[in-house]
């Protein structure tokens, strides 16, 4: 029956994304999207681009967008790579920097796409348990055989590792690539981009899906030494020279050019997160110290799976992971103040408070 399947297809266990529900009145707090729309300048740029040149291929090098992103961090276009969401950038990075036979390390628990890529590309891996308080046991990442990948802040725990710890990991893997997946960094403290000029083995991956409100446009990017970026471009060009379409190129560029809007929406989300954290604690939840646009939380007496199901019945969608070690936690995206009020109202009812 499956005689045409390749061994690669057989070893894949695809990533299962969070539920995407089209229902209009749902409070959707399950996949860490930004609750605010993109900057009006993004919409204007896309509309303008739609009126011209869609019959022509986009730029295969995406130089303008790479320059614009680089400007944010004092980097050149040669130090920036762009791809179709950071998931694709991460897939290319696994192909470019990790190899069969040399185990890589990533945390247990972490972003569940990493084992998917590792299996797909036949890369062995060691899952390094987090400390009891979900912080990173930094020393356990030193001298890896095949490289390191970790998100900072971590997902789904929301915990941020200080830059000096990240630097120690980079320093102690001099011959391997250390990938720091910073999908949520704009809601946290310092980015590891500061390390790029000091170390040629650190690759920082970010996305426009969270802090720039562009999950639907699919633009992710990586920053690192030119030799790392050249390797990614080589992999990309072996698949598709035109990774980003014209609308994504101009939309993402406009998002990076509207710093005021970015600052305003990001600060708003951080303020809502802090308020949400306090309110959940008043409802007897333990909440991990979040530096992301979501919180990771466990109720002191009521099981997480029950709360997830009851909230869903009430039209509030949060994320539940049926995974040992975190199966009593909920991951809840920080929404607008109104969405968070609705969440709290429903939780109060469910908990009979």
Site of interaction with ligand PMP (CB under 6 A): 85-87, 111, 151, 155, 181, 183, 207, 209, 215, 220
> Distances in Å between the alpha carbon of 6 and those of 62, 120, 150, 346?
33, 11, 29, 48
Q: C-beta of 50: minimal distance to ligand PMP in Å?
A: 23
Tell me if 332 sits within 8 A of 326, measured CB to CB.
Answer: no
Cβ proximity to ligand PMP, 58 vs 85, nearer residue: 85
Q: Extract the tokens encoding 66.
A: 């790479």
Cβ proximity to ligand PMP, 38 vs 151, nearer residue: 151
- Three-class secondary structure of residue 288 per DSSP: coil
Q: C-beta of 172: minimal distance to ligand PMP in Å?
A: 22
- Three-class secondary structure of residue 100 per DSSP: coil
Q: C-beta of 181: minimal distance to ligand PMP in Å?
A: 5
Listed in sequence order, the DSSP H helices in the chain are 7-10, 40-50, 63-73, 85-97, 113-120, 163-171, 226-239, 246-257, 259-282, 304-313, 337-350
To 5 degrees, how large is the angle CA 33–CA 182–CA 260? Answer: 65
Q: C-beta of 110: minimal distance to ligand PMP in Å?
A: 8
Q: Extract the tokens encoding 269.
A: 């989300």
Is the peptide bond preceding residue 153 cis, with omega within 30 degrees of 0? yes
To 5 degrees, how large is the angle CA 110–CA 221–CA 232? Answer: 95
Cβ proximity to ligand PMP, 86 vs 213, nearer residue: 86
Q: C-beta of 232: minimal distance to ligand PMP in Å?
A: 15
253 alpha carbon, distance to own chain's centre = 19
Cβ proximity to ligand PMP, 97 vs 346, nearer residue: 97
- φ, ψ (nearest 5 deg) of residue 192: -75, 0
Cβ proximity to ligand PMP, 174 vs 216, nearer residue: 216
- What residues does 105 pair with on adjacent strands? 126, 148
In this structure, the strands spanning 220-223 and 80-83 are antiparallel
- φ, ψ (nearest 5 deg) of residue 172: -90, 15
Q: C-beta of 65: minimal distance to ligand PMP in Å?
A: 15
Exposed/middle/buried for 322, CB within 10 Å: 0-12, 13-18, 19+? exposed
Cβ proximity to ligand PMP, 154 vs 201, nearer residue: 154
Tell me if 288 sits within 8 A of 296, measured CB to CB.
Answer: yes
Cβ proximity to ligand PMP, 39 vs 86, nearer residue: 86
Cβ proximity to ligand PMP, 86 vs 291, nearer residue: 86
- φ, ψ (nearest 5 deg) of residue 257: -85, -10
Q: C-beta of 284: minimal distance to ligand PMP in Å?
A: 27
Q: C-beta of 214: minimal distance to ligand PMP in Å?
A: 9
Tell me if 48 sits within 8 A of 229, measured CB to CB.
Answer: no
Cβ proximity to ligand PMP, 117 vs 302, nearer residue: 117
Q: C-beta of 267: minimal distance to ligand PMP in Å?
A: 21
């Amino acid at each position: 029956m499956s005689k045409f399947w390749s061994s690669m297809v057989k070893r894949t266990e695809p990533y299962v994304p969070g539920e995407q529900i089209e229902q209009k009145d749902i409070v959707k707090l399950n996949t860490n999207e930004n609750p605010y729309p993109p900057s009006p300048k993004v919409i204007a740029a896309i509309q303008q681009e739609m009126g011209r040149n869609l019959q022509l291929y986009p730029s295969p090098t995406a130089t303008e967008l790479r320059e614009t992103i680089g400007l944010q961090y004092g980097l050149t276009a040669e130090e920036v790579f762009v791809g179709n969401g950071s998931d694709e950038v991460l897939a290319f990075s696994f192909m470019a920097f990790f190899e069969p036979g040399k185990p890589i390390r990533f945390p247990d628990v972490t972003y569940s796409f990493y084992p998917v890529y590792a299996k797909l590309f036949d890369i062995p891996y060691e899952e390094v348990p987090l400390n009891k308080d979900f912080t990173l046991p930094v020393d356990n990442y030193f001298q890896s055989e095949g490289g390191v990948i970790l998100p900072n802040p971590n997902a789904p725990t929301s915990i941020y590792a200080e830059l000096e710890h990240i630097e120690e990991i980079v320093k102690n893997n001099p011959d391997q690539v250390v990938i720091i997946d910073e999908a949520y960094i704009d809601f946290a403290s310092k980015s590891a981009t500061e390390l790029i000029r000091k170390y040629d083995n650190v690759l920082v991956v970010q996305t426009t899906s969270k802090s720039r409100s562009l999950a639907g446009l699919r633009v992710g990017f990586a920053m690192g030494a030119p030799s790392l970026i050249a390797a990614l471009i080589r992999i990309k060009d072996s698949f598709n020279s035109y990774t980003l379409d014209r609308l994504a190129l101009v939309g993402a560029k406009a998002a990076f050019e509207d710093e005021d809007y970015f600052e305003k929406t990001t600060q708003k989300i951080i303020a809502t997160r802090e308020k949400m954290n306090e309110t959940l604690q008043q409802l007897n939840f333990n909440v991990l110290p979040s530096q992301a646009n979501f919180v990771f939380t466990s109720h002191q007496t009521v099981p997480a799976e029950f709360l997830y199901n009851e909230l869903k019945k009430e039209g509030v969608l949060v994320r539940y992971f049926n995974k040992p070690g975190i199966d009593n936690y909920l991951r809840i995206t920080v929404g607008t103040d109104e969405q968070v009020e609705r969440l709290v109202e429903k939780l109060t009812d469910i908990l009979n408070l």
